[in-house]
Amino acid sequence: MTRRTESAVTARSFTSLAMREVLGSFCTGVVIVTAVGDEPLGFTCQSFTSLSLDPPLISFSPALTSTTWPRIRKIGTFCVNVLAENHPELSTKFARSGTDKYAGVEWTPSPKGSPILDGVVAWIDCTVWAEHDGGDHTIVIGEVHDLASDLQQHPLLFYRGNYPQRPFAQGGNA
Ligand SMILES: Cc1cc2nc3c(=O)[nH]c(=O)nc-3n(C[C@H](O)[C@H](O)[C@H](O)COP(=O)(O)O)c2cc1C
């Protein structure tokens, strides 16, 4: 793998804000990555994606500033919770660093013991497979050990910094 160093990056014709705005046009779902150490842990993440079927791998990218990811990395086991359309508040709650994210949140343990949050569309039980440099983020690859989904539920979407309301309703206004 070749890695571009800071000094090799040439002057850009766009700002970080423009990058954020343009990349925000790419609509995603929202997950909360959870684990249990001394206490239950978790953080909201939209950079989640399916990666490989054989072996079964997924990926997501925590910022280097995340205080929760280093704690989950140390545990080595985590669960990806795919949020449902009625979960915008849960998404915001788990994005607040240094708060009691689990206050009032019901969960049950996954087969590997990580929290499955009540009402999620899907959960994916993983162990850390690899981690790679991703600039101001780190690219985590997880090996999938177990998973399930609720086909009756619609996922929460994230688009241009907002959660589109009722995108799955007939004539939805996403
Ligand atoms: C919808 C949404 C998507 C997010 N996606 C990411 C992401 O992909 N990677 C990331 O590092 N932070 C993401 N965040 C921000 C983190 O949730 C937040 O910075 C982090 O949880 C801070 O808590 P921590 O210090 O406990 O890790 C997202 C936040 C929201 C609301």
Q: Is 138 in the pocket of ligand 1 (CB under 6 A)?
A: no
Residue nearest atom 16 of ligand 1, based on CA coordinates: 95
8 A C-beta contact, residue 71 and residue 77:
no
pLDDT score for 7: 47
pLDDT(10) > 50: yes
| Strands lying side by side in the sheet with 122-134 | 40-45, 31-36, 77-82, 122-134, 137-149, 57-60, 49-52
Residue 6 has pLDDT above 70, yes or no: no
Res 11: pLDDT: 81
Distance 139 CA to ligand 1 centre (A): 14
Region 69-85 average pLDDT? 98
Q: Which domains does the chain have, with CATH numbers?
A: 29-158 (2.30.110.10)
The torsion defined by the Cα of 125, 128, 132 and 135, in degrees rounded to 10, comes to 60
Give 65 Cα–ligand 1 centroid separation in angstroms.
Answer: 10
Q: What pTM does this model have?
A: 0.93
Distance 81 CA to ligand 1 centre (A): 14
Give per-residue pLDDT as tens, 20-62: 999 999 999 999 999 999 999 999 999 999 999 999 999 999 9
Task: State how far the Cα of 140 lies from the Cα of 134, in Å rounded to an integer.
Answer: 9
Is the model's pLDDT at 67 over the cut of 90?
yes
**Distance of alpha carbon 133 from alpha carbon 38, whole angstroms:** 28
Whose CA is closest to atom 23 on ligand 1?
Answer: 97
Establish whether residue 47 lines the binding site of ligand 1, counting it when its CB lies within 6 angstroms of any ligand atom.
yes
